[in-house]
Structure 1
Amino acid sequence: MHTEMARTAPVSPARDQGPDLEMQTVRSAHLDNDVVSSFSWANLNVVVTDRTTKTPLSILSEASGFVRAGEMLAIMGPSGSGKTTLLNALAHRVAAAGATTTGDILINGQKTSLQTLRDLSSYVEQEDALIGSLTVKETMMFGARLSLPSNISKKEALERVDNLIASFGLQSQAQTIVGTPIKKGLSGGQKKRLGIASRLVTNPRILFLDEPTSGLDSALSLEVCSYIKDIGRRHKLVIVASIHQPSSATFQQFDHLCLMSGGRTCYFGTVAEATGYFGRIGYPIPPETNSAEFFLDLINTDLDKNGEVVLRTDDICNSWNTSEERTRLTQVIQKTQESSASSLSHYKVARPSGWKVPLVLLHRSWIKSYRDIMAYGIRIAMYLGLAILMGTVFLRFETEQRYVQPYINAIFFGGAFMSFMAVAYVPAFLEDLSTFKQERANGLVGPLAFMVSNFIIGLPFLFGIVILFSVVAYWLTGFRADASAFFMWVLWLFLDLSGRFCFVHLRRLRVALAITAFANGLWMCVDGFLVPMNILNVFWKYVFHYIDYQAYVFQGMMVNQFQHGEYSCEQVAGGQYQCAYPSDLNSAGKFRGTDVLRQFSISTGLEGTWVGITIGIIVGYRILAYLALVLRK
């Protein structure tokens, strides 16, 4: 019979709060904490192509290991030793760009698939991916809601979250926000604990940690590791962590050590036996020496000046390959494979309903949007300032020839710079994107749910920003005083801002400013204002103008202002008129707004088509952003 298990939080009270709460499966049975009794790997190799010679280059060689449930393994080595490569390979992640991974990854002695390992494990990245404007409890609750099936009640989820918060010593900070650049929140150690706790709420049986103590001092590192060890032992978790230069006390928290250099294994065994092993192969540890630092110094080829460390490392690796410890490790892995009886494919993790995930993300984004001033508060202030600037510079224009060009300039300025200032949204979006990447890697959120929720939550705020801007700038400038004209202006600006809002999704922080400047300059050059369509170079016209959403916005706003208006020409000496725009009304000292449009090769009656094209471009940007997320593994 197949047994289905639901991901539920590995709830446990603080150290003195009584027995653990019961776990529930899809069938309301107990979740067996011994689902994963061991995790092992054999002859794991990772090969990439050397960029210079184009030949295969091994970055992980013949790695093997074995960890029992309730134990904690430290993967340790100097920089570039292959720690993260091994950790990623074990978690069935991309070990390195263009890498080929071979070998066996085993749970309870059975080869495991990507989906099975994803269902049974969680991966905590080195960099925190927490949303700064959420509280500790909200962070945990959203993690639970993204992972727990629908048959788990809200009360049960809340109890599990509370107990997990207590287990990590965060009770006093439950209502404290994580922290933003403007408002201080948790300390570094508390953030690390919260990041791990938010992954444990999904009830993994295997936990991968990429340098969980990075950026912490020795006291905080010990604190974090002691909490992890306590949780792991009480809930029989397999914990595999890469770690760099731990203090002696932190190092002793681990049960097993995998020491690596240059992608090769130097030692795999218990922490307690490591000192004796190195003494037997000719590298005794001096008295009162931090054993972790001693091991790293032995194999740190970065400090090698005369080739001595390379030779020593080769000797250590060769000694390990021929050691009794390596032979026993191989025998343990083989024995586990031979004695394996049940198939893990019988276990299936129950997940939330497909419609539930976007709603949870939408709720989370809503809280962030009104609480995080970086997301919308600063943008609202910027756009209000821009509206006041525009309205007071382009102040009270009239229907005279001398105001026509300033009107056109105001239309161009309003659209182009409203769009350009959407760059203020980049930091807030990148925080969301970082969180999404980790949740996606742990199988909680997909690209479609992320894109849908992010799009929906932005619309009301964008519309509010446009209304705020327009109420100030439109009437101060003196655009056509008509309700329908005003709301058409609002529509065009909303589409304009939505277009740039979509484009933000295609950026990364390192190139955000460069891409923003280039793209905005490109769209302004080809939108038909700086160079009218009748003289625009054919390359720019046919390659970029017709996919430039700002071009249709500019044309629509021009028609909105000039289609029904008449303007008086400039009167010169002798009562004559000097008209800048040819018209059949020039003899009367006037010209029509359509005569202005003709100078820019803008036709009337196509507004509906332009709206449709602009929406199509926005949808196209969304699809491109979605595909970028799908293809970015």
Structure 2
Amino acid sequence: MVTHFHYTKSRERLGICIKKINYCRFSQTSKDEKIRIVNELLQQLGLTACADTRVGEANASEMTQENTRGISGGERRRLSMAIQLLANPRLLFCDEVTSGLDAHSALKIVQVLKDYAESSGSTVVLSIHQPRPEIYQLLSGVGNLVLLSFGRVVYDGPMAEALPWMESLGYERCPAHMNPLDYLLDLTTIDYSSAATERLSRKRCANIGASWEERSCRSSSTKHLTTIHLNNTGMAAEPLSTLSTLLASSSQIVTYSNTSDRPAPNSSLGILQCHGTKRPGLSAQISTLIRRGWKNEIRSNIAVALFILSVMLGIILGFLFSGLAIRFQDISSISSMCFMTVVAQPAIILFMGIMSESRTIPVFEQEYKEALYSPLVYLISDIVVFAPAVLFSGFGQLNRS
């Protein structure tokens, strides 16, 4: 999952990604068009209601939730997915993006990912728990299905032919009221409820795997992949010819494959097909990071309180030690002033920095891996963000002499 600043709002998070730091492909897009893209992406992913809500902390405690608790876990996952969609990756991994969502929202997310794969020609790898039947229907007409049982491929072919294949092996027809994916999962999963059921289910899985190995029908031309991982034990991202070697720890996987090389003309995610050639300059990156840093510090009650405390301490020290001169009787007061100025007051600013860096470092590491900006840009912007606290804290001491 993408790491977020606690005090950044959802709309701002996407705005920063699309404006100046991220993705040179938006460099030639107008400001109004960027706003439209962000709003439409929020609408499609069901984030409109929380667009102006702080992202918050994922695991905020009872004591801190008033200040740091923000959008829900499901909304945070969808926001992470929106950020990655803006990057227009050729290969997109989505790990449990529908977990914690209601059935309608889960179906909508899968539809968005399917539209994105079709419109961009990209590969989408999606792990998902308990997909509803409509998700199977959404992908079955255009996709391939790969079933694995403990790393062994037991089916690899058109999704619509999976049930007939199981019937040809002598297994009963999938009940009309049952989700086909749940039925396939039951057939290829070992039942540990008792020794007898475990023995029978192991034999069944072995027979299905052996039968499939006799039938050589794997396609090596699959280009676009969406993987539905049914029991959270592994993921896949390679062509189907190497899938079994990469998923030794996996159990069941459903694969959607789109063989069309041309983007869908009426795709709802055509808004992302923007292209530019010039990456934002150094000054644009620094200014954007500075604005983001200041917004987060201002919205943090603790940071604001520490800043006020630092300024007040500087004013108090200025009054207490005003009028000192280089005299023998003032040596003790001068030494006390030096201690408070050099040690005590900077400790508050240091604490502010440590508290802030604990939140910003994970975001920086993630954005640096994505080559959005250099460490120098981050360092310069960080220094500028904390400069007011350092300057104003000593303001009250300027006239102490």
Tell me if both proteins adopt one fold, taking TM over 0.5 as the criterion. yes
Distance 1:236 1:381, change over 3 A: same
Q: In 2, distance between residues paired with 1:442 and 1:159? A: 24
User: Residue by residue, what CA displacement relative to the aligned partner does 1:386-414 show, whole Å, maximum 9, x if unpaired?
Assistant: x59x98xx999x9999x959966992897
CA contact (8 A) 2:144 2:158 kept: yes
Kindly indicate whether residue 29 of structure 2 is the aligned counterpart of residue 137 of structure 1. no
User: Residue by residue, what CA displacement relative to the aligned partner does 1:251-281 show, whole Å, maximum 9, x if unpaired?
Assistant: 5444444444544444334443333333434
Counterpart in 2 of 1:157?
34
User: Residue by residue, what CA displacement relative to the aligned partner does 1:449-470 show, whole Å, maximum 9, x if unpaired?
Assistant: 3333333323333444x338xx
Q: In 2, distance between residues paired with 1:303 and 1:427? A: 48
Q: In 2, distance between residues paired with 1:230 and 1:132? A: 30
CA contact (8 A) 1:167 1:231 kept: no
Residue identity in the other structure for 1:152: T
CA contact (8 A) 1:132 1:179 kept: yes
* SS class of match (2:87): coil
Structure 1 or 2, whichever has the larger Rg, is: 1
Kindly indicate whether residue 394 of structure 2 is the aligned counterpart of residue 467 of structure 1. yes
CA contact (8 A) 1:298 1:312 kept: yes
Kindly indicate whether residue 164 of structure 2 is the aligned counterpart of residue 272 of structure 1. no
Q: In 1, distance between residues paired with 2:153 and 2:309? A: 55
Q: In 1, distance between residues paired with 2:127 and 2:39? A: 28
Pairing partner for 2:123 from 216, 221, 238: 238
* SS class of match (1:330): coil
User: Residue by residue, what CA displacement relative to the aligned partner does 1:524-544 show, whole Å, maximum 9, x if unpaired?
Assistant: xxxxxxxxxxxxxxxxxxxxx
Residue identity in the other structure for 1:330: S
User: Residue by residue, what CA displacement relative to the aligned partner does 1:273-300 show, whole Å, maximum 9, x if unpaired?
Assistant: 3333334345556523334344445555
Counterpart in 2 of 1:292?
181
User: Residue by residue, what CA displacement relative to the aligned partner does 1:561-614 show, whole Å, maximum 9, x if unpaired?
Assistant: xxxxxxxxxxxxxxxxxxxxxxxxxxxxxxxxxxxxxxxxxxxxxxxxxxxxxx
CA contact (8 A) 1:304 1:310 kept: no
* SS class of match (1:323): coil
Kindly indicate whether residue 304 of structure 2 is the aligned counterpart of residue 377 of structure 1. yes
Q: How does 1:221-370 map to 2 (within 5 A)?
A: 221-234=106-119, 236-254=121-139, 255-281=143-169, 284=172, 287=175, 288-299=177-188, 303=192, 306=195, 308=199, 312-324=204-216, 327-330=217-220, 350-355=277-282, 356-370=284-298
CA contact (8 A) 2:15 2:38 kept: yes
CA contact (8 A) 1:252 1:271 kept: no
- Residue 142 of structure 1, CA deviation: 1.3
Pairing partner for 1:148 from 20, 24, 35: 24
Residue identity in the other structure for 1:161: V
Distance 1:152 1:420, change over 3 A: same
Q: In 2, distance between residues paired with 1:285 and 1:459? A: 70
User: Residue by residue, what CA displacement relative to the aligned partner does 1:101-151 show, whole Å, maximum 9, x if unpaired?
Assistant: xxxxxxxxxxxxxxxxxxxxxxxxxx2423343333322221112213544
- Residue 217 of structure 1, CA deviation: 4.4
Q: In 2, distance between residues paired with 1:130 and 1:279? A: 48
CA contact (8 A) 2:349 2:390 kept: no
Residue identity in the other structure for 1:329: S
Distance 1:405 1:157, change over 3 A: closer
Q: In 2, distance between residues paired with 1:314 and 1:423? A: 60
- Residue 170 of structure 1, CA deviation: 4.0
Relative contact order higher in (CA < 8 Å, ≥ 6 apart): 2
Residue identity in the other structure for 1:352: R
Distance 1:276 1:463, change over 3 A: farther
User: Residue by residue, what CA displacement relative to the aligned partner does 1:502-536 show, whole Å, maximum 9, x if unpaired?
Assistant: xxxxxxxxxxxxxxxxxxxxxxxxxxxxxxxxxxx
CA contact (8 A) 1:129 1:431 kept: no
Q: Which runs of 5+ in 1 are unaligned?
A: 1-126, 335-340, 342-347, 476-480, 484-633
Identity of matched residues, %: 25
RMSD of equivalent CA atoms: 4.6
Pairing partner for 1:411 from 322, 339, 349: 339
Distance 1:404 1:200, change over 3 A: same
Distance 1:247 1:151, change over 3 A: closer
Q: In 1, distance between residues paired with 2:221 and 2:23? A: 37
Counterpart in 2 of 1:449?
377
Q: TM-score, normalised by structure 2?
A: 0.62
CA contact (8 A) 1:218 1:247 kept: yes
Which structure shows the higher strand fraction?
1
Residue identity in the other structure for 2:165: Y
Counterpart in 2 of 1:554?
none
Aligned residues between the structures:
327
Distance 1:260 1:457, change over 3 A: farther
CA contact (8 A) 1:192 1:224 kept: no
Q: In 1, distance between residues paired with 2:210 and 2:353? A: 54
User: Residue by residue, what CA displacement relative to the aligned partner does 1:451-491 show, whole Å, maximum 9, x if unpaired?
Assistant: 33333323333444x338xx4xx89xxxxx944xxxxxxxx
Q: In 1, distance between residues paired with 2:376 and 2:80? A: 24
Q: How does 1:427-576 map to 2 (within 5 A)?
A: 428-464=356-392, 466-467=393-394, 471=396, 482-483=400-401
* SS class of match (2:126): strand
Counterpart in 2 of 1:193?
78
CA contact (8 A) 2:47 2:75 kept: yes
Distance 1:412 1:427, change over 3 A: closer
Distance 1:482 1:191, change over 3 A: closer
